[in-house]
């Protein structure tokens, strides 16, 4: 393999590793948000939700994967509803937060394992 080809392959692999790391961080933050909701720590859950949506926006803006970009954009569309529900408090929050969290594990976990 030519040095230029090796460099290109290494650069591509590095990009893939960085994407996987970002997606892992996103999934972890979404999980922390969910755990705070379960524990009824809605203020902390709200902080995590801001992180989740900020991370999702950053990844959606930088990914070259159209399927992942669409998944993240669909998730970002729930931002206002989830933020409002977290601000209200109470049991009605489980459903939207579950919806947000469910957008991450399987598709992202599958991508990370590939």
Say what the pLDDT of residue 114 is.
36
Higher pLDDT, 51 or 110: 51
Residues 61/72, Cβ–Cβ less than 8 Å:
no
Rg of the chain over Cα atoms, rounded to whole angstroms, equals: 16
CB-neighbour burial class of residue 29 (10 A; exposed 0-12, middle 13-18, buried 19+): buried
Residue 62 CA to residue 2 CA, distance in Å, equals 29
Q: Which domains are seen in the chain, by residue range?
A: 16-113 (1.20.120)
List pLDDT tens digits, range 80-106. Answer: 888 888 887 755 545 555 655 665 545
Say what the pLDDT of residue 37 is.
84
Residue 112 CA to residue 114 CA, distance in Å, equals 6
**Whole-Å CA distances, 31 to 36, 45, 48, 62, 71:** 9, 10, 9, 22, 17
- Of 14-18, 22-26, 62-66, 68-72, the one with minimum mean pLDDT is 14-18
Residue 33 CA to residue 25 CA, distance in Å, equals 12
Residue 76 CA to residue 105 CA, distance in Å, equals 15
pLDDT of 47 above 80: yes
Residues 112/24, Cβ–Cβ less than 8 Å:
yes
């Amino acid at each position: 393999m030519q040095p230029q080809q090796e460099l290109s392959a290494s650069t591509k692999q590095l990009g893939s590793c960085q994407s996987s790391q970002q997606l892992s961080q996103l999934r972890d933050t979404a999980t922390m948000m969910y755990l705070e909701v379960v524990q009824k720590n809605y203020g902390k859950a709200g902080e995590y939700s801001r992180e989740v949506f900020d991370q999702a926006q950053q990844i959606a803006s930088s990914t070259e994967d159209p399927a992942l970009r669409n998944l993240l954009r669909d998730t970002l569309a729930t931002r206002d509803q989830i933020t409002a529900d977290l601000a209200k408090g109470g049991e009605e929050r489980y459903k939207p937060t579950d919806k947000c969290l469910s957008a991450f594990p399987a598709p992202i976990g599958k991508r990370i394992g590939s």
